[in-house]
Copies of this chain bind each other. A is one copy, B any other.
Amino acid sequence: MDALDTAILRVLALDARATFAQVGEHVSLSAPAVKRRVDRLRERGVIRGFTVRLDPAAMGWQTEAFVELFCQGSTSPATMRSAVEHYPEVVAASTVTGDVDLMVQVRARDMRHLERVVERLAAEPFVARTRSTVVLSALVRRPDVPPAPEG
Identical chains bound together, number: 2
Interchain CB contact under 8 A, A140 and B45: no
Interchain CB contact under 8 A, A137 and B55: no
Q: How large is the interface on A (under 10, 10 to 19, 20 to 34, 35 or more residues)?
A: 35 or more
Q: Which of B12, B59, B77, B148 contacts A146 (CB 8 A)?
A: B59
Interchain CB contact under 8 A, A94 and B15: no
Q: CA of A12 to CA of B16 in the docked complex: distance in angstroms?
A: 11
Knowing A16-B16, A140-B92, A142-B92, the reply to whether A109 touches B147 (Cβ < 8 A) is yes
Contacts of A44-81 to chain B: CB distance below 8 A: 44-56, 58-61, 64, 66, 77, 80-81
Q: Which of B17, B51, B55, B95 contacts A143 (CB 8 A)?
A: B51
A96, CB-defined interface residue at 8 Å: yes
Interchain CB contact under 8 A, A139 and B84: yes
Binding site for B on A (CB under 8 A): 1, 9, 12-17, 44-56, 58-61, 64, 66, 77, 80-81, 84-85, 88, 90-98, 100, 102-103, 107, 109, 133-148, 150
Interchain CB contact under 8 A, B9 and A52: yes
